[in-house]
Structure 1
Amino acid sequence: MMRRDLFLLILVSFVAAWFVIYLFSSLPSYRRPLTASGAKDDPVDCAGNETLGFGQILVLSHGPSWRTRGLAAAASLTGLHYIIPPQPPVHPDLSDAFAQLGSDQGKDHPTSGGSRAWLAHLDLIKHVYQLNLETALIIEDDIDWDVSLRIQMKSIASAIRNLTHTYNHDDLPYGREWDIIWMGHCGEFWDKEFETVIFDDIAVCPHEKYHGWAQKYISRIPKGKRGVYWSKNPVCSFAYALSHDGARKVLELTGAGQGEAFDVKMMGECKSGNLKCISVIPEVIHQYFPAEDFRVKSLKDLGDEENLGSTRDDDIFESIKGSTENILFSARCRALWGETCIRD
């Protein structure tokens, strides 16, 4: 009797289990895409995290100064996390030799100072490649951004996925169909005929306040809008993202110099189609400058013999508010002075 009851119990359990499996297998299936962190959320949401959805944010810097202190204040205010890898020493003979590569063939070449900056970018990109990061954002240490950057980057990620036809199964916030994203630059061409994904941004710089050679192109974009599109002529390397494959390509294409400057060389490779590049316009990252009276220049703009604005002079101007072009609500100035500082 007990054996029969046990057999009936097992039989009933088996039939019940089979019925449950059949019932659920007949229902429509749906699985949300996985994010880079493995959480079952929209990948675009990760673009608003502490690294803006990239594997790391890496800073190109030559050491502590007003640049890095202001950067730290802005990052703390907006909840961003970054790393400043130490720059390896570069022998003067190496930078001089690098500057002259291709000059006997009539090719452009950087100045000695431009050569050192170029090699510094290459060292950081090698770091990205050696760490095997899927993506990384490289920024210069004197840059600034809007206090709403983490919100802005979600819209940018969504627009880039739209532009590149990236679907839900791709778990990276910006997808994988790109080599470089130019987020911080000093100008770009744009025309209504370009394939562009345009979206609302309440923190976009008004046309009448936009500074730079690209103002006439920016003014063609509807007010209160920002866009992403396949790059045409991006200039300056304030902030650019790299995919892993993009890092490899940049090292191969720009590693032998033979150009006016690193950003110009990279721009040329974008224009030729050797790199898949996407530009954000207007830019969401730009240089911050101390007050004009002190004539402190960005490392990007310095020539061979000009004063870098050494740390011993920082206290003269560091407590006085400067300005940032094309950024509506500066994170640096909000963090340091509780004010905006868009250039008039």
Structure 2
Amino acid sequence: MIIPRFYLFILASVAFIGIWFLSYKPFLYQQLSVSQSTDGGRSLPLNHSLPPLEAAGNETLGFQKILILSTGPSWRTRGLLAAAHLTGLQITIPPQPPIDEAIVDAFGQLGGDDDDEEHPPHGATIAWLAHLDLIKHAIQLDLETVLIIEDDVDWDVSIRHQMVRIASAIRNLTHTEQRDQSSHPTPYGHDWDLLWIGHCGEFWNEDFETVSFEDRSACPKAQYSGWARNYLSHLPDHHRSIYWSFNPVCSFAYALSRKGMRNVLRVAGGGRGEAFDVKVMQACKAKALRCISVVPEVVHQYFPAASYGVNSLVDIGNGEAVGPDETEFESVMGSTDNILESARCNALWGKTCLR
């Protein structure tokens, strides 16, 4: 029997994804012993001694573990560890497995050569695979919940207080108090796949079911930067708003439930899109994932001083200049958009750095 070329391509794509998925596990378990961590590498159990909402203010913000997406020690991780120490967060930086160029090229071209098919550029493909690898790591650790954070980000010095209020709003949005029959309730309930707490913008309109609360640590509208500023202007100032995700972009920080980890692998594990965050956003928008956005965000990217022209690893992977050696700019304070009291800058320079 002659099998059409189209079906051969589909079979080859499925085989590639399966081999890539399975091949990651042995390397990961061999390397776990060298994970950099502020908690000694322990996998923290869910803390059931605290009331559910109060647990959102613990050392892991109410999640079982905080995992950092990182290629290794650099100015990014040193500043992140300083911020974590200042705010009392326990984070773990697992080693990122090497990603062969052949895998990058193959993953980036999944879907074929159809002109209508979007493919991620090289740097975005590497980042996409790294996110998937870290999610698989969380599954292998058998976690109920995990918070994944990119290593060049920043948050407010009051993040542990912020997350308690956010947890309460999420439980209200999902009506968790009325129907949560779990013997081990979590701060955020169970009726979600992904909590998008760190992004570079989100859409909003008055038709969205929204839970808002006053939060003086939220970035004022007049100081908010980014493409979503116009949408934020329709929300009350000095408030935090929680609603079902519609168009969040940038994967600075997101939490996943146990089922959410598997669901993200299902919708994003086959590539075929502009970037990891865009693929996940589209799944949230289509209700293929149950996603909740926090606006304004509580985690945002930190930028080294602009005069040094430092590019992100994704931009470098896409062909941008590598830029100066980190010894030239690491000691000079940069800036963080939309975070009033930067933990990173306060830890390193004793002051905030809102751009």
Give the TM-score taking structure 1 as reference length.
0.86
Equivalent residue, structure 2, for 1:330: 342
What code does the residue aligned with 1:316 have? E
User: Which of residues 76, 79, 83 in structure 2 aligns to 1:74?
Assistant: 83
Q: Which runs of 4+ in 1 moved over 6 A?
A: none
> 2:166 aligned with 1:152, yes or no?
no
Structure 2 distance, partners of 1:162, 1:46, is: 16
Identity of aligned residues (%): 61
Equivalent residue, structure 2, for 1:3: none
> 2:149 aligned with 1:135, yes or no?
no
Q: Which segments of 5 or more consecutive residues in structure 2 lack a partner in the other structure?
A: 1-44
Shift of 1:191: 1.5
Paired residues of 2:46 and 2:63 also in contact (CA < 8 A)? no
User: Which of residues 335, 340, 343 in structure 1 aligns to 2:352?
Assistant: 340
Equivalent residue, structure 2, for 1:48: 57
Equivalent residue, structure 1, for 2:103: 94
Shift of 1:132: 1.4
- Per-residue displacement from partner, 1:104-148 (whole Å, max 9, x unpaired)? 243101012211111000000001111111100000000000000
Residues 208-287 of structure 1 correspond to what in structure 2 (within 5 A)?
Answer: 208-287=222-301
Shift of 1:306: 2.4
Aligned residues: 306
Structure 2 distance, partners of 1:176, 1:96, is: 37
User: Which of residues 178, 181, 201 in structure 2 aligns to 1:187?
Assistant: 201
Structure 2 distance, partners of 1:123, 1:301, is: 20
> 2:217 aligned with 1:207, yes or no?
no
What code does the residue aligned with 1:191 have? N
What code does the residue aligned with 1:146 have? D
User: Which of residues 119, 128, 133 in structure 2 aligns to 1:109?
Assistant: 119
Larger Rg: 1
- Per-residue displacement from partner, 1:161-190 (whole Å, max 9, x unpaired)? 000011264411101000000000011001
Structure 2 distance, partners of 1:190, 1:300, is: 27
Structure 2 distance, partners of 1:127, 1:223, is: 39
Equivalent residue, structure 1, for 2:70: 61
Shift of 1:252: 1.2
Shift of 1:298: 2.5
Structure 2 distance, partners of 1:308, 1:336, is: 24
Q: Classify the secondary structure of the residue corresponding to 2:92.
A: coil
Paired residues of 2:251 and 2:277 also in contact (CA < 8 A)? yes
Q: Please tell me the root mean square deviation across aligned C-alpha atoms, in Å.
A: 1.4
- Per-residue displacement from partner, 1:34-61 (whole Å, max 9, x unpaired)? x94231x420100000100001000000
Shift of 1:315: 1.4
Paired residues of 1:36 and 1:173 also in contact (CA < 8 A)? no
Shift of 1:91: 1.1
Paired residues of 2:311 and 2:320 also in contact (CA < 8 A)? no
